[in-house]
């Protein structure tokens, strides 16, 4: 299995999944059809599946045009969000198999950014949409802070070598906020340097490994004493559990950093 980024809009990634032994392929979160069609044409690939993580337009805007162009394509997505183009509604723990590709993924329900957001886990990778970003996490829009915290807790427990494919190139800004939370972190300073170098050369900073996120992403470090202390200082009160620490970090970033 190969996974490649197709850039869309300002900073979106549409992930293209291919295999050497077939012309069938899949894309994740096609917000725009243009970058997908142009690479599929060039390489004579046939789109057999679309995986959707959530309802936002920058993840779904290309689906109608892709369905028109590749009439048999299956569209996998959460059934509890308003995504009209879904042909295979998915739910938590469901196993899906990508048509013509002999690749299986497990659906993880990870609400918070939206109420029905899902991720796709399998073959050593996680497509996590706008829930977990490299160095950060998504905003809480139509879900709740408690849901988002629980979703991040769930991701934290996956195998640390899992490669995380999120949907936006936000890493540089995220790492900057991480250093507000943990200004002493040497490993975070190193990450900042390598991210800056990558961005300068227009090299994607995604995927990252879960281990790297566990070491440097404040939103996955809500059980670390120095992260708790920083969040408590911002909140001006004691924080008693992961959800409270997460909520303080997220509000801190929303209000003072972004
Ligand atoms: Zn989104
Ligand atoms: Fe998005």
**Which ligand ends up closest to the CA of 169?**
2
Compute the distance between CA of residue 231 and CA of residue 181 in angstroms, rounded to an integer: 8
Structure tokens at 251: 């509000």
Residue 90 pLDDT exceeds 90 = yes
Compute the distance between CA of residue 66 and CA of residue 83 in angstroms, rounded to an integer: 15
pLDDT digits (tens, 9 = 90+) for 2-39: 999 999 999 999 999 999 999 999 999 999 999 999 99
**Which ligand ends up closest to the CA of 170?**
2
Structure tokens at 104: 């299986």
Largest Cα separation within the chain, whole Å, is 58
Q: How far is the CA of 58 from the centre of ligand 1 (A)?
A: 7
- pTM for the structure as a whole: 0.98
Domain at 155, CATH number:
3.60.15.10
Contacts 24+ apart (CB under 8 A), 76-80: 76/49, 76/50, 76/51, 76/52, 76/120, 77/51, 77/52, 77/53, 77/118, 78/52, 78/53, 78/54, 78/109, 78/116, 78/117, 78/118, 79/116, 80/115, 80/116
Consecutive H or E run containing 95: strand 95-98
Compute the distance between CA of residue 238 and CA of residue 224 in angstroms, rounded to an integer: 14
Residue 229 pLDDT exceeds 90 = yes
**Which ligand ends up closest to the CA of 139?**
1
Total domains present in the chain = 1
Q: How far is the CA of 3 from the centre of ligand 2 (A)?
A: 19
What residues have their beta carbon closer than 5 A to ion ligand 2? 58, 130
**Which ligand ends up closest to the CA of 141?**
1
Residue 258 pLDDT exceeds 90 = no
Q: Which residues contact 75 (CB under 8 A, 6 or more apart)?
A: 49, 50, 52, 63, 67, 83, 85, 86, 87, 88
Average pLDDT over residues 251-257: 98
* Domain membership of residue 192 as a residue range: 2-257
pLDDT digits (tens, 9 = 90+) for 41-61: 999 999 999 999 999 999 999
Q: How far is the CA of 136 from the centre of ligand 2 (A)?
A: 13
Q: How far is the CA of 251 from the centre of ligand 2 (A)?
A: 19
Question: Buried b / exposed e across 41-67, counting CB within 10 Å, b at 16+?
Answer: eeeebebbbbbbbbbbebbbbbbeebb
């Amino acid at each position: 299995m190969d996974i490649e980024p197709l850039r869309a809009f300002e900073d979106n990634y549409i992930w293209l999944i291919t295999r050497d032994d077939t012309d069938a392929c899949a894309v994740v979160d096609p917000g725009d059809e243009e970058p997908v069609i142009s690479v599929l044409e060039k390489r004579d690939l046939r789109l057999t599946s679309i995986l959707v993580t959530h309802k936002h337009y920058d993840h779904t805007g290309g689906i109608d045009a892709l369905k028109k162009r590749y009439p048999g394509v299956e569209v996998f997505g959460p059934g509890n969000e308003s995504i009209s183009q879904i042909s295979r509604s998915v739910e938590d723990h469901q196993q899906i198999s990508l048509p013509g590709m002999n690749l299986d993924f497990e659906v993880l329900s990870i609400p918070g950014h939206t109420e029905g957001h899902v991720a796709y886990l399998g073959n050593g990778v996680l497509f996590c949409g706008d829930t977990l970003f490299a160095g950060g996490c998504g905003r809480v829009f139509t879900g709740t802070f408690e849901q988002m915290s629980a979703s991040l807790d769930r991701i934290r427990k996956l195998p640390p070598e899992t490669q995380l494919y999120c949907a936006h190139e936000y890493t540089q800004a995220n790492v900057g906020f991480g250093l507000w939370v943990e200004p002493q972190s040497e490993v975070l300073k190193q990450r900042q340097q390598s991210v800056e170098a990558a961005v300068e050369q227009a090299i994607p900073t995604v995927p990252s490994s879960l281990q790297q996120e566990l070491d440097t992403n404040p939103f996955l470090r809500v059980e670390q004493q120095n992260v708790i202390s920083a969040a408590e200082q911002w909140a001006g009160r004691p924080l008693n559990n992961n959800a409270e620490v997460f909520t303080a970090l997220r509000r801190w970033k929303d209000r003072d950093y972004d």
